[in-house]
Amino acid sequence: MKLTILGPWGAYPAADSASASYLIQTESVNVLLDCGSGALAQLQRHLPLEELDAVVLTHYHTDHIADVYCLQHAAMILMQLGRRTKPIEIYAHDADPAAFATLAYGEYMHSHVIAVGDSLTLGDLTWTFGHTTHPVPCLSMRIEHGEQVLVFTADTAWNDDLVRIGRNADLLLCESNLYNEYFGKIGGHLTAGEAGKLASQCGAKRLVLTHLPQYGDLAQLVREAHETYQGPIDLARTGDQYRL
């Protein structure tokens, strides 16, 4: 299983980057996890759009879905040109029915409901979904390929279900939108120290901090996470790749 960071930013992307979006690949399937602003431009550096099989969404905040609607038109054009032979399958929760209804796009994109506790098979990947604590419904994700485990917290404040779904992760891709000084002051997101604490409690082998803020010294996030986790820690950066 290969993870490529397309967009590590929350809210809006930095220049030449993207907001929340990640490419997960095996020999049998190519899946886009979230599809934020700038995702398609970054995706095409690593994969032709003709070869994208599916999209899995955590929630409907714009920094996670902005490029979905561009992708709908890309699928349409590529199928009309004969360069794609099948629609893109897109998976999301339907706790917001109006938002879910916008995902399907004729014969070019087919939508499917996922929910907490569900299991989803995409190629040789198995996905399970957990609870988050965020202002809107949002799903955390455990992605397994054989014995390899990738876990994505999505956007969330602390809750104990994150420990359950993150257990023994080979790589914990964890939101870290807040510096420690904002602990208890801003809801819906984790501080770097909490990200480290989660990695420790999960027994994660590696921690990658993502959904990064646009202010401050990002290296401080790593230092703060190291206060509660002694394993390897990276800041997610556009174009970085991890093989599990």
Position 180 scores a pLDDT of 98
In contact, 67 and 21? CB cutoff 8 Å? yes
Q: Which of 71, 27, 30, 22 is nearest to 47 (CA)?
A: 30
200: domain CATH number is 3.60.15.10
Position 31 scores a pLDDT of 99
Enter the tokens of residue 134. 């965020």
Sheet hosting strand 30-35, strand order edge to edge: 109-113, 88-92, 54-56, 30-35, 21-25, 2-7, 241-243
Rounded Cα gap, residues 112 and 129, in angstroms: 14
DSSP 52: -
Q: Which of 5, 6, 37, 34 is nearest to 139 (CA)?
A: 34
Position 3 scores a pLDDT of 99
pLDDT by 10s per residue, the chain, length 244:
999 999 999 999 999 999 999 999 999 999 999 999 999 999 999 999 999 999 999 999 999 999 999 999 999 999 999 999 999 999 999 999 999 999 999 999 999 999 999 999 999 999 999 999 999 999 999 999 999 999 999 999 999 999 999 999 999 999 999 999 999 999 999 999 999 999 999 999 999 999 999 999 999 999 999 999 999 999 999 999 999 9
Position 179 scores a pLDDT of 98
pTM of the model as a whole: 0.98
Say how many domains are in the chain.
1
Domain assignment of residue 60, given as a range: 2-243
Residue burial 149-175, b: 16+ Cβ < 10 Å; e: rest: bbbbbbbbbbbeebbebbeebbbbbbb
In the chain, how long is the greatest CA-to-CA distance?
A: 53
